[in-house]
Amino acid sequence: MTDVHGQEKKHTAESFAAELRRRIKEGAKGYEAGAKLPTLRAFAAEEAGVARGVAEKAIDRLRAEGLIESRRGSGSYVRASRIPRTSPGRLAATQWGRGLSIQAYDSMDPPKAVDVIVGDVVPPAQVAQALGVQPGEMVLSRHRRYVRERRSVQLATAYLPTDLTRGTRIEHTDTGPGGTFARLAEQGFAPTRFLERVISRAPTPEEINGVDGREGLGLRREGSLVFEITRHAYAGDRCVEVSLMVLDAEMYELLYAFPAGEEDKPAGV
């Protein structure tokens, strides 16, 4: 890059980010989806007018925009794709009722659930209220961590009343075909409607680093955001499950597909 006098012009973080953004958008050689980017040292050595600090700031900017992802110990890559999360289809009875997981609705290669921890706990106050249990009363908790390519992308904890779970496969780490919702249906409490609330926020230290022996999301970039999703599952008028989910916002895209019918404002909104 040169100025009007033919002298080498130094890149700013903004101008170099714009150049890299152009290469990624156009799919230039070496900048295709999934491609590994040069190191900061290589950028400084091979790109005219680019200092290492400038390259670092430009990469940080594109990472914040979601165009680039970093893999610990490996480097920076052009993002291949985000993990889709499609609503409301993923929660349809035609999905779990056929013995399929709701994650399988989103992708042929969904994140894998690991570190499944099942046990009785005293739930958060808002969960107890939703489930209709008394303060201090125990409910069943199912905690999972989801990973994609060895990267933690989601933490999820589901809470259910124990009168619906005792002696069922819901108490096992593997709930069987169709998951928890299919097992609730076998008890006569098939979910008939769902309510999800989604907010974006900064992660807590516990969500980053983990707590009580549970691994966290491992987010390291300053300014990282998460999606916090709270889902209530109802069988008729009874709330039969509350699920609290924390998703790495850099890794997910939330998709919504629904018919253009009459407005139907769900209860509780």
Please count the residues of the chain.
269
Domain range list for the chain: 13-78, 83-256
CATH class of segment(s) 83-256: alpha beta
Q: Reply yes or no: is the peptide bond before residue 135 cis, omega within 30 of 0.
A: no
List, in sequence order, every residue forming a beta bridge with 87; answer none if it has no partner.
Answer: 256
Do the first three CATH levels of 13-78 and 83-256 match, i.e. the same topology?
Answer: no
Main-chain phi, psi angles of 197, to 5 degrees: -115, 135
Q: What is the pLDDT along the chain (269 residues), one digit of tens a residue?
A: 444 445 567 899 999 999 999 999 999 999 998 899 999 999 998 998 899 999 999 999 998 888 888 877 888 999 878 899 999 999 999 999 999 999 889 988 899 999 999 999 999 999 999 999 999 999 999 999 999 888 899 999 999 999 999 999 999 999 999 999 999 999 999 999 999 999 999 999 999 999 888 899 988 667 789 999 999 999 999 999 999 999 999 889 999 998 887 666 666 66
CATH class of segment(s) 13-78: mainly alpha
